[in-house]
Structure 1
Amino acid sequence: MTSVDKPTTAPPTPDQEARTDKAVTEAALFEAFGGVRGMVETVLPGLLFVTIYTINKDLHSSAIAALAVSLVLVAVRLVRRDTVKHAFSGVFGVAFGVVFAMMTGNAKDFYLPGMLYTLGLGLAYIVTTLAGVPLIGLILGPVFKENLSWRTRNPGRKKAYAKASWAWGLILLAKCAILFPLYWWADTAQLGWVLVALKIPPFLLAVYLTWVFLAKAPPPIDVFAEMEAEERAEKEREAAAQGGPEA
């Protein structure tokens, strides 16, 4: 076969590279935030709590059911050997809510730890962005295998992370602006149903905006690939030095 006959692989076009970058960004966000299953694990305990409480107005049975379903979700992930971080975070959140509500005897306090966490997280997104280290970059950097390279080596990506962090922070704070007045004015069932309704839409909006900002940003710098390349080059240099010209 001549060189003319050999098949050649055309380099990817800019449009193909852009589509690939967007697909990688989408997959990474899906992994980082748990996907559909993570959303179900986030919503189900609170939904079960407010459903049972709406029916029987019993704090103990509602709290036990919510905690039990959280533990079942973790057990399922452990059996399937899946990532358990989202399920475990759900268990801890529900457990704090159960303990707090049991201590105060106020069913609305089941939701208070989660609301305070949301408030703190929203403020953390804003504060870290103002400090020049946007939180969403700290979360997603390892997922994209870029670690903190975006801070000094990829200014376009740092700008995208800053925009995304602003989006997350403002969305979470807006959510808190709805929930905290309801904590004081509404009853437990009303607060619970509003909280369940506000679980997914703001989250999806924040994830979508993050995807939009990152899809338009420069691609991440794969620092792991750079480290591996440097290790290979070092080994090659050592091998060349050991096998140098004989006298």
Structure 2
Amino acid sequence: MTAPQPDPFPGASRPDAPGGETKPDAAGQEPSPVAGLAAEYAAKAGLHRTHDGRVDVLRSAGGVQGIAESILPGLLFLVAYTITRDLTVSLVAALAAAAVFTVVRLVQRRPLTQALAGVVGVGISAWLANTTGKAEDFYLPGFFTNAAYIFAMVLSILVKWPVAGLLFGFIRNEGLDWRKDPDRLRAYRLGTWIIVAVLVLRLAVQVPLYLMGPEGFAALATTRLLMGAPLYILGVWVAWLVTRPARDAAPGGQDAALKP
């Protein structure tokens, strides 16, 4: 049994409040619309906090089931195409895996957002690969998605609303106060750059493999799996570590448990 979770949205609009009501802060004042939106964004991003103050990276990645949902369709596509060299069979295998996860979530009565997003993503990839007849095009949409995330995160840094601050700030009960502290703002900008670096690394490794055509397919598919959820988890963990407040870096602090 896990300990009760601390409220990560003090003084902000609770996205899970009945009827979408806004809770006033400790002073009895209504929170700013920006604080409410940021709190809702942090919640929808899927990041979670353990009872001892750490970011629960595994749960934030969707848990074991969520990671399987992100990896298995691509893995089945790779295995099926390597064995059969039949693009249609391989695409059906990937789509079937994504559909099975959606059914599983229906049976479990769990939110379908992640599974449906996976089905849509695999569906678009399968349609493109089937249209062009090139197996490597199965991975092409992911490049554009990756580039869009890079653009959004770099933009958030430039306008001084770094994504890492929006995500981690509410997990740490900092709200938006970190924006008033130059050191905290600098730390969260650095944390966001780390996540950007992970996304850029994906493109730097995978795009050349894609451009190799059929000769680079196996390496592209393999690196896509390795640089998916595993690399995301590593990037979030490192970003969390480098954005620790000084008061939490001391022994016994909230983030002390994250030290290697």
TM-score, normalised relative to structure 1: 0.69
Contact 2:136 2:213 survives alignment (8 Å) = no
Q: Pick the aligned partner of 2:55 from 15, 26, 43.
A: 26
State the Cα distance separating 1:126 from its structure 2 match: 2.0
| Mean CA deviation greater in 210-219 or 180-189 | 210-219
Identity among equivalent positions (%) equals: 33
Q: 2: CA distance between counterparts of 1:168 and 1:32?
A: 15
> Are residues 191 and 154 of structure 1, via their aligned partners in 2, closer, same or farther at CA, if it must alter by over 3 Å?
same
2:165 matched residue in structure 1: 137
Q: 2: CA distance between counterparts of 1:84 and 1:157?
A: 35
1:97 matched residue in structure 2: 125
State the Cα distance separating 1:117 from its structure 2 match: 0.9
2:209 matched residue in structure 1: 182
Q: Unmatched 5+ residue regions in structure 1?
A: 1-19, 220-247
Q: 2: CA distance between counterparts of 1:218 and 1:75?
A: 46
Q: 1: CA distance between counterparts of 2:174 and 2:108?
A: 29
Q: 1: CA distance between counterparts of 2:77 and 2:97?
A: 10
Contact 1:150 1:158 survives alignment (8 Å) = no
State the Cα distance separating 1:141 from its structure 2 match: 5.5
Q: 1: CA distance between counterparts of 2:247 and 2:50?
A: 9
State the Cα distance separating 1:41 from its structure 2 match: 1.3
2:240 matched residue in structure 1: 211
2:200 matched residue in structure 1: 173
1:194 matched residue in structure 2: 223
1:209 is matched by which residue type in structure 2? Answer: V
Q: 2: CA distance between counterparts of 1:21 and 1:158?
A: 24
2:197 is matched by which residue type in structure 1? Answer: L
Q: 1: CA distance between counterparts of 2:155 and 2:227?
A: 23
CA RMSD of aligned residues (A): 2.7
| Mean CA deviation greater in 128-137 or 64-73 | 128-137
Cα deviation, 1:12-64, whole Å, max 9, x if unaligned, reads: xxxxxxxx98833323x444332333222111110010110000111111111
Cα deviation, 1:97-153, whole Å, max 9, x if unaligned, reads: 011112222111111001221122123222221221112334456666766x24645
Q: 1: CA distance between counterparts of 2:121 and 2:246?
A: 34
Q: Pick the aligned partner of 1:110 from 134, 138, 144.
A: 138
State the Cα distance separating 1:180 from its structure 2 match: 0.4
Q: Pick the aligned partner of 1:68 from 96, 107, 110.
A: 96
Contact 1:124 1:169 survives alignment (8 Å) = no
2:67 matched residue in structure 1: 39
> Are residues 214 and 152 of structure 1, via their aligned partners in 2, closer, same or farther at CA, if it must alter by over 3 Å?
closer
| Mean CA deviation greater in 208-217 or 102-111 | 208-217
2:97 is matched by which residue type in structure 1? Answer: V
> Are residues 34 and 103 of structure 1, via their aligned partners in 2, closer, same or farther at CA, if it must alter by over 3 Å?
same
> Are residues 131 and 205 of structure 1, via their aligned partners in 2, closer, same or farther at CA, if it must alter by over 3 Å?
same
Contact 2:154 2:193 survives alignment (8 Å) = yes
> Are residues 143 and 78 of structure 1, via their aligned partners in 2, closer, same or farther at CA, if it must alter by over 3 Å?
farther
Find the residue that maps to 1:176 and give its secondary structure.
helix
Query: Highest CA radius of gyration, 1 or 2?
Result: 1
Contact 1:161 1:214 survives alignment (8 Å) = yes
TM-score, normalised relative to structure 2: 0.66
1:52 is matched by which residue type in structure 2? Answer: A
State the Cα distance separating 1:174 from its structure 2 match: 1.2
Q: Pick the aligned partner of 2:84 from 34, 38, 56.
A: 56
Q: Unmatched 5+ residue regions in structure 2?
A: 1-48, 249-260
Q: Is it true that 1:120 corresponds to 2:170 in the alignment?
A: no
Contact 2:98 2:115 survives alignment (8 Å) = yes
Contact 2:58 2:233 survives alignment (8 Å) = no
Find the residue that maps to 2:154 and give its secondary structure.
helix
Contact 1:157 1:218 survives alignment (8 Å) = no
State the Cα distance separating 1:197 from its structure 2 match: 2.5
